[in-house]
Amino acid sequence: MLADAVAEYLAVRRAGGFACRSENLLLQSFARFAAAAGESHVYAPTAIRWAGLVRSVPQSARRLGMVRRFARYLRAEDPRHEIPFAVFGSEKRPRPVPYILSQHEIRRLVAAASCSGYRTLRRETYATFFALLACTGLRVSETIRLRLDDITPDGLVIRCSKFRKSRLVPLHETARQGLTRYLKRRSRYAPAEDHVFVSLRRKPLLIHDVEVAFKTAARASGLVEQPGRSRPTPHSLRHTFAVRALLACPDGRDAITKHMVALSTYLGHAKVADTYWYLEAVPELMNDIAARCEAFAAGERP
């Protein structure tokens, strides 16, 4: 039965560190669809029909991509399984160029967050939250999950984040001081809660809370959406940190290689290619790349 094969396949994937939440739902749906057709193996026509049940072509490509990986796994032991062609195109859409904030825009954003809403802990919560994102490059979800015990003399311990990786993120002294000031007031407001950032409900923040607060602060600080440019989001602060770190990279092939690997590890990327993506984020980096290419074509060697 394909349902049993799906369970086995997902167990292997989870053992490799993948969460497989959406894969679980979709592959079980495909297994039921194939079973209703009286099939116990993956057949290309059936897989393509199932993937095409949704209206969006990118969604169909994503669904078929999951079945293709599943079929490839099964076919290694049973050649009766068919691997369908990617008839809906690539399941991976091009990543948009991120919205990169200037230092002045970050200061305005944090200042706007510190003045938003009533005179409550909410102001300090989001001003500190956004400032911490900007100076550490943490993911929003990682910052939300921070607990008091994760603040150590060596930095912030990010536990079992994306891809089940843990890492240590150093804190600049100014960032540590800002976090300490916030925690003094926050401890009086919600002493029983061990999450660092709390809402007015005295509970951990929700991603939706952060997105609403960011949108409010962004509007108040003048960060408006512009035609042809990605809109600013809380994750833009992580993108900005990564780009500024790349701009600080020293010259020299060996130095650049070490810098990229260190930054990839610091950001918690699964592969260094995710870090290289940031090279296309700002004109300064693209100009540097173009200049190096021209020098190489002219006969210079690194």
Catalytic residues: 139, 162, 235, 238, 269, 278
Q: Helix H segments across 155-235?
A: 173-189, 207-221
Q: How far is CA 283 from CA 273, 278, 286, 288, 300, in A?
A: 19, 11, 5, 9, 23
What are the E-state strand segments in the chain? 151-152, 155-158, 167-169
75: which 2 tokens?
């076919």
Q: Compute φ and ψ for 136, nearest 5 degrees.
A: -120, -20
Contact between 216 and 116 (Cβ < 8 Å): yes
Q: Quick one: which of 154, 138, 20 has its CA closest to 146?
A: 138
Angle CA(244)–CA(228)–CA(240) in degrees, nearest 5?
15
For residues 116 and 213, is the Cβ–Cβ distance under 8 A? yes
CA distance 10 to 104: 46
Partnered with residue 167 across adjacent β-strands are: 158
Q: At what angle do helices 44-51 and 21-36 cross, to 10 degrees?
A: 120
The kind and range of the H/E element at 125 are helix 121-136
Distance CA 127, CA 124 (A): 5
Ordered strands of the 151-152 beta sheet:
151-152, 155-158, 167-169
